[in-house]
Chains A and B, each alone.
Chain A
């Protein structure tokens, strides 16, 4: 059973370009979470999705950021018109379709660098 797969591992974008980060959850997991880790900081919650639904996006910046988790395919975190401050590591986590607290399994992250 493969773990949570994120790609690409490293992404370089020029200011103003779009960044698309992909996350394939573990097999059988239907809950996906995105976190952002700025340099020298802990992870910050961004968004919680279930298949075709955004459950909680309270940590998402109001502009330029969007996330989806379609019925088929990976979850996508999209950042439009990137700026230098978007440079960070973005982690995806997945958990099983169960109510309540279950272990979240993290991917290895995508490290975005905006130049």
Chain B
């Protein structure tokens, strides 16, 4: 069974500071990994995805994530936070291609950006 753990339920950063959202997964096979963002009272938007190509994945809005198999991690970073980055972020895993979009979500990390 797949599982994903987001290590911080809340993260507070100053505008312009580094954003780091931590995610660890467990999987018996190399998984597909995603980060989604959810703005208040909105649906989810895909930020980026890892599908066994490059281990450093670049996404939208300046975010990127690095897949580290040895650490079973897929942490999300952004060099400089913007006020518009305030949202909830979900690390998501799909076990394999056949599972399609039967996704397993982490518990979410709520990001607060201080001016």
Contacts and interface: CB of A to CB of B under 8 A. Distances in A.
A37 B101 CA distance: 16
B90 A48 contact: no
Contacts, number: 63
Contacts of B97: 99-101
Nearest to A43: B105
A93 B92 CA distance: 14
Looking at chain B, what size class is its interface with the partner chain? 20 to 34
A48 B102 contact: yes
B61 to A, nearest CB: 16
A56 interface: yes
Given A48-B102, A95-B100, A41 B49 contact: no
B90 A33 contact: no
Interface in A13-72: 31, 33, 35, 41-45, 48, 56
Given A33-B101, A101-B97, A104-B101, A42 B42 contact: no
22 contacts: A31-B101, A33-B102, A35-B105, A42-B90, A42-B105, A42-B108, A43-B90, A43-B103, A48-B100, A91-B43, A93-B101, A95-B101, A99-B97, A100-B100, A101-B51, A102-B100, A102-B101, A104-B46, A106-B43, A106-B45, A108-B43, A111-B41
- Nearest 8 interchain pairs by C-beta: A100-B97, A42-B105, A104-B101, A106-B43, A106-B44, A108-B43, A43-B105, A42-B107
Interface of B: 32, 36, 41-46, 49, 51, 90, 94, 96-108
Given A48-B101, A100-B98, A103-B49, 9 more contacts: A41-B108, A42-B90, A42-B106, A43-B44, A45-B102, A45-B103, A56-B102, A95-B100, A101-B94
